[in-house]
Chains A and B, each alone.
Chain A
């Protein structure tokens, strides 16, 4: 318990809400930060994307139009500080996925600026996109694991991509799998794991390169409530080590329970940005569509 108290003292105001989350002490790892090597260790060639000071995620008047004048985002400005835990909520078609895909530059803004870790993604050269993605951990509703690779190999791939030696991969993969609660299941293929376990593998993969920003798009969308709770606890613990966590979801129960900052999108616009619960019906906000 002492550790959790320390966390609370160290946390800034946006993290105070952690006191409301019931995390049984035994599920908190001895030290999640154990996978984070001392800063300055082995900066690799080409590892060009390092988040600077200032907001972790910043949208400035972002408009994204798809073909046929379909609006993904319609003038979104928002700022997410380093270390925050933020929910992005809204019905399907509200622009959540567009928001997420803009952050990892799967999409480019039609106008406005998407700034991640101080870097304007509109000015990021295509050849540098892989380095952006290494700095961001991504978790998706459909897990996006490589189907013919075991849990260990899936996590290892993310390490190999960043050029880690085999010894280092062999050392860190079991470590991170244990951390997400998959001790001893490293040799299983994704299809041999439950949905919750697969999502834990994908979180392990997202974490293994120590990203400063973790983005999850409907991470609990395919999971039952109990399993969802486990995944959310895991994301909370990750957030507690200082990683910024952005979760897009329409899971009202989860959001209500967690009482974090909630950014609500409706038809491509932010209709609410406050701490608290889901507060779903955008009609209440007086939004003019």
Chain B
């Protein structure tokens, strides 16, 4: 029943200070919108980087002239590496398989029909348990007799190293940015609510005079902050949804019309989860913002 009363008090004060309430709501909207645009971007980059990292695989091309026996020797070598724990998975891709894969990836596979013979070599595709193992794997197989003399071994060494560094950087930079954004948002909302409290300083004085405890005064203000935060967050989420459907999704499907089908390199956060996170953040911003600001006015 007390909560009901505090809630009514909060609504009364929102109505009585409409301009400031709108300002606080818009502030929350902007903060949540930026946060909401940043979190999926960050998640996407992060997962794209880690997807690339897991794609650091070693292709060992086999000479067209290699005998079945030679190929089996190479297969055993790689098998040993797998039992050692350096290789997670390896597959044999025959010449025919290679051509079929190429056909799938091209938008206009008919160009391949012009070829007099299959130019693609067979290969072993090796996935290391860890990108850092790639060098050791290469060292183990590089002098094998079955290797194609021209193609040899193909693996993105520098890419692997850079991706590892990039993954770490993206992670920490992302966390730092989210932290800074949150602090900025709390300060912004706090400032706006301070305006509201300045406007009602006398009112708070009178409340204290008739013996209202600090929490009795604080609750309606905090609820007010939460309401502004929630409304701002909901509007921000609606705007983000519009942008996702109207711009991002359209762009993503447009990307498939390019020469090659890219597939999805990374996964962003699921929208329902993002909504929950953002609405929660909005409410928290409002509560913390007004809570911190009130402290200064409730002394003595």
| CB pair B16 A165 closer than 8 Å | no
Query: Would you give the 0/1 interface string for B177-216, flagging 1 where the beta carbon is closer than 8 Å to chain A?
Result: 0000000000000000000000000110111111111101
Number of A-B residue pairs having CB atoms within 8 Å of each other in the complex? 53
| CB pair B16 A162 closer than 8 Å | no
- A131 contacts the other chain (CB 8 A): yes
- Nearest Cβ in chain B — how far from A218, in angstroms? 15
| CB pair A161 B211 closer than 8 Å | yes
Query: Would you give the 0/1 interface string for A77-115, flagging 1 where the beta carbon is closer than 8 Å to chain B?
Result: 000000000000000000000000000101000000000
| CB pair B206 A134 closer than 8 Å | no
A residues less than 8 Å from B207 (CB atoms): 146, 157, 161
Report which of A129, A148, A165, A205 forms a contact with B210, defined as CB distance below 8 A.
A205
| CB pair B300 A160 closer than 8 Å | no
- B5 contacts the other chain (CB 8 A): yes
- A264 contacts the other chain (CB 8 A): no
Closest to A128 in B: B213
| CB pair B206 A130 closer than 8 Å | no
| CB pair A134 B211 closer than 8 Å | yes
User: When chains A and B are docked, how far (Å) is the Cα of A222 from the Cα of B84?
Assistant: 95
Query: Would you give the 0/1 interface string for A153-171, flagging 1 where the beta carbon is closer than 8 Å to chain B?
Result: 0000110111101100000
- A126 contacts the other chain (CB 8 A): yes
- A144 contacts the other chain (CB 8 A): yes
| CB pair A146 B211 closer than 8 Å | no
| CB pair A146 B208 closer than 8 Å | no
B residues less than 8 Å from A144 (CB atoms): 202, 205-206, 209
| CB pair B300 A158 closer than 8 Å | no
User: When chains A and B are docked, how far (Å) is the Cα of A157 from the Cα of B210?
Assistant: 8
A residues less than 8 Å from B300 (CB atoms): 106, 126, 129
In this complex, which of A46, A160, A162 has the most chain B Cβ atoms within 10 angstroms of its Cβ? A160
| CB pair A161 B216 closer than 8 Å | yes
- B1 contacts the other chain (CB 8 A): yes
Report which of A106, A131, A147 forms a contact with B211, defined as CB distance below 8 A.
A131
Task: For chain B, give the interface size range.
Answer: 10 to 19
| CB pair B206 A148 closer than 8 Å | no
- A133 contacts the other chain (CB 8 A): yes
| CB pair B5 A133 closer than 8 Å | no
B residues less than 8 Å from A209 (CB atoms): 211
| CB pair A133 B211 closer than 8 Å | yes
A residues less than 8 Å from B212 (CB atoms): 130, 157, 161
| CB pair A133 B1 closer than 8 Å | no
Query: Would you give the 0/1 interface string for B105-121, flagging 1 where the beta carbon is closer than 8 Å to chain A?
Result: 00000000000000000
- Nearest Cβ in chain A — how far from B27, in angstroms? 23
| CB pair B208 A130 closer than 8 Å | yes
| CB pair A148 B211 closer than 8 Å | no
User: When chains A and B are docked, how far (Å) is the Cα of A160 from the Cα of B217?
Assistant: 11
Closest to B12 in A: A148
- A214 contacts the other chain (CB 8 A): no
- A138 contacts the other chain (CB 8 A): yes
| CB pair A161 B1 closer than 8 Å | no
User: When chains A and B are docked, how far (Å) is the Cα of A198 from the Cα of B5?
Assistant: 25
| CB pair A148 B213 closer than 8 Å | no
- Nearest Cβ in chain A — how far from B217, in angstroms? 9
- A145 contacts the other chain (CB 8 A): yes
CB within 8 Å of A: which B1-51 residues: 1-2, 5, 12, 16
- Nearest Cβ in chain B — how far from A149, in angstroms? 8
| CB pair B208 A133 closer than 8 Å | yes
Q: A144-B206, A157-B207 are in contact. Are A130 and B1 (CB under 8 A)?
A: no
Closest to A144 in B: B206
User: When chains A and B are docked, how far (Å) is the Cα of A106 from the Cα of B212?
Assistant: 14
User: When chains A and B are docked, how far (Å) is the Cα of A195 from the Cα of B213?
Assistant: 29
| CB pair B209 A138 closer than 8 Å | yes
In this complex, which of B16, B205, B209 has the most chain A Cβ atoms within 10 angstroms of its Cβ? B209
B residues less than 8 Å from A138 (CB atoms): 209-210
Closest to A137 in B: B210
| CB pair A166 B208 closer than 8 Å | no
| CB pair A146 B206 closer than 8 Å | yes
Query: Would you give the 0/1 interface string for A34-55, flagging 1 where the beta carbon is closer than 8 Å to chain B?
Result: 0000000000001000000000
- Nearest Cβ in chain B — how far from A153, in angstroms? 9
What are 26 A-B pairs with beta-carbon distances under 8 A? A104-B209, A126-B300, A127-B214, A130-B208, A130-B211, A130-B212, A130-B213, A130-B216, A131-B211, A132-B211, A133-B209, A144-B202, A144-B209, A145-B206, A146-B203, A146-B207, A148-B16, A157-B210, A157-B212, A158-B210, A160-B5, A161-B207, A161-B210, A161-B213, A162-B211, A166-B5
Task: Give the B-binding residues of A (Cβ under 8 A).
Answer: 46, 104, 106, 126-127, 129-134, 138, 144-148, 157-158, 160-163, 165-166, 205, 209
Question: Closest 4 CB pairs between A and B?
Answer: A134-B211, A133-B211, A158-B210, A161-B212
Query: Contacts A130-B211, A146-B203, A146-B207 given; 6 further ones with Cβ under 8 A?
Result: A130-B212, A148-B16, A157-B210, A160-B5, A162-B211, A163-B2
